[in-house]
Structure 1
Amino acid sequence: MTMNLVSFYSNSSLLSGAIHYPKLEQNKQYPAIVLVHGFVGSKVGEHRLFVKAARYFSEKGFIVFRFDFRGCGESEGDYSDVTLTNQIHELQSTLDYIEEIPEVNKEQITVIGHSLGGAVASLTASIDNRVKQLLLWSPVANPFQDITRITGLLAVKKAAKEGVYDYQGFYISEQFFQDLKRHEPLLSVASYKQPVLIAHAEMDEDVPKGNAQLYFDSLKNRQTKTDVFYIAKADHTFSSYSFEHQLFEKSSNWLEEVLQKNEVQLLKQPF
């Protein structure tokens, strides 16, 4: 397995990314996974969650792409530039980049979003048919309520008064908070027609575990595969090797099952 560091543009902003490759065979294409980080996060993740996830999935035969949103990690900009709307556009720019990798099978692109990244992933999947599978890890379901539960409502008031709020070294803008109110991922994701897996930390201290059921309820009336599971005793970032292993293993097994089913269906189609 190998990893390449890359840079790519979303509008005029240069974003930082990393591609993890499985052992490649000549003239073969591979399913791809895009990892989407959350609020004030980065492509590394708490306790290197996304690095570990990328290595795990690449060993299973996936090309894995992790990246930093604008104002995060090693990407250009400041967090004061961040809005949920902008992050949707940036995820779509990431999909543009992924599609140009010769070894990627464009019909097998999966997006995995954690926390606020789960909301971004859901909103993007509902408008972009390139997302063939969607996995949500402890996802934000009600952006304004869920994020202000973390920052506190005082942050909203100070941002409204001063333009920005200093949250642990990140400037959060008034526009960021107002933009959160514009988006309803639970309503948007209901129109998504592809398979969805929702995984939530049972002891999540940041994002309510009830969000998993909210997403499931939004999706359950579709004919497409929708599943939910919980990691017992896990916190929001799945911060133990045991929690990580359960999360990665169950996500990988689910993905392999979905992809195998899709291959069988393709073989059954008349030519």
Structure 2
Amino acid sequence: MEHHITIRSGELDLAATLHYPVSGAAGSKANRHPIIIIAHGFIGTRIGVDRLFVNAARDFCRHGYMVLRFDYGGCGESTGDYGQGGLDALIDQTRHVIDYALDIDCVDPQRLILLGHSLGGAVAILTAARDKRVKTLVLWAAVAYPFNDIINITGKQLYERAVQNGSSDYLGYNFEPVFFDSLTKHQPFEQLRKFNGDVFLVHGTADEVIPVDYCFLYQKLFWMRSQGLCDKEVIFQANHTFTGREAKEQLLSKTREWLITNDKQKQEWNDWEI
């Protein structure tokens, strides 16, 4: 069952789709379900390239998960202008979506999973570092150096025009210097240690946008925390958006298997009380 909804974030209306678990699916606990919130990447949408997030949400809900995917302000069907307020605005919007998710009666607040792709992965880390309600992170081809990675996508000239003229157009989106300033201000590598939950990383070896090396760097730094596990999966020949049936099937199956196994281990551990 899917519902198209609107989530208020300040003066913005964020378009979103809420997926309910398939009846009888595993994963419920005392009539409450874990929920996965999907954060899309740079000028993306809640649909995803080749319907990646639609397919992911429907797959997860068949296995007992609620899923909430949404459009950031100025993207997809949401109101506003993308990039206004920089990464801080994206973090705030994500937290408002978390507010909405935890107001749903059948959601288990102890099993809130934030899944971020590309720039959405960086936003997910920065959000989890601030918001203890996030219990688990799933990062697909996550950005690690926001300024450099986005400049590599848009081209350095776009940034220079924005600084010189006060704004610059990229594929119909208007970016002001404040957006680029925010990219330099926030460093996921520095903030990730503030998150104590478990993490699952997935990256493709043929990613032409965000280097697969980031996956290994992220795991190393997550391992250095005093709490929380971190596992990774590297998918051979998968590109940035995991295009193609084989890459997408591996992405979804590996993510789903990790989530289910991780949740089972936590429940078993909780049964052992001293």
TM bucket by the smaller chain? Answer: over 0.9
RMSD, aligned CA: 1.4
1:80 and 1:164 in contact (8 A); partners too: no
Q: How far does the alpha carbon of each residue in 1:138-181 deviate from its partner, in whole angstroms, 9 at most, with x for none?
A: 00001001110111110110111222221112112211111100
Consecutive unaligned residues in structure 2, runs of 5 or more? none
* 1:79 shift after superposition: 2.2
2:22 and 2:63 in contact (8 A); partners too: no
Out of 99, 106, 127, the residue aligned to residue 109 of structure 2 is 106
Out of 128, 131, 141, the residue aligned to residue 131 of structure 2 is 128
2:16 paired with 1:17: yes
Where 1:81 maps in the other structure, the secondary structure is coil
2:210 paired with 1:207: yes
TM-aligned CA distance change 1:184 to 1:195, over 3 Å? same
Q: How far does the alpha carbon of each residue in 1:30-75 deviate from its partner, in whole angstroms, 9 at most, with x for none?
A: 1110011000101011111100000010011100000011111111
Out of 215, 235, 238, the residue aligned to residue 234 of structure 1 is 238
Equivalent residue number for residue 153 of structure 1: 156
Equivalent residue number for residue 251 of structure 2: 247
Equivalent residue number for residue 139 of structure 1: 142
More displaced stretch, 149-158 vs 166-175: 166-175
Match runs of 1:61-210 below 5 Å:
61-81=64-84, 83-210=86-213
Equivalent residue number for residue 268 of structure 1: 272
Where 2:130 maps in the other structure, the secondary structure is coil
Q: How far does the alpha carbon of each residue in 1:218-259 deviate from its partner, in whole angstroms, 9 at most, with x for none?
A: 111234221112111011000111111100100111111111
Match runs of 1:33-72 below 5 Å:
33-72=36-75
**When the two structures are superposed, what TM-score results if normalisation uses the length of structure 1?**
0.96
* 1:81 shift after superposition: 2.1
Q: How far does the alpha carbon of each residue in 1:102-142 deviate from its partner, in whole angstroms, 9 at most, with x for none?
A: 11111101011000000000011111111111010000001
Count of matched residue pairs = 269
Query: What is the alpha-carbon distance in structure 2 between the residues aligned to residue 261 and residue 138 of structure 1?
Result: 25
* 1:80 shift after superposition: 4.7
Instruction: Quote the sequence identity (%).
Output: 36
Query: What is the alpha-carbon distance in structure 2 between the residues aligned to residue 218 and residue 183 of structure 1?
Result: 16
2:135 and 2:198 in contact (8 A); partners too: yes
Query: What is the alpha-carbon distance in structure 2 between the residues aligned to residue 104 and residue 15 of structure 1?
Result: 20
* 1:24 shift after superposition: 4.2
Amino acid at match of 2:209: D
2:47 and 2:54 in contact (8 A); partners too: yes
Amino acid at match of 2:4: L
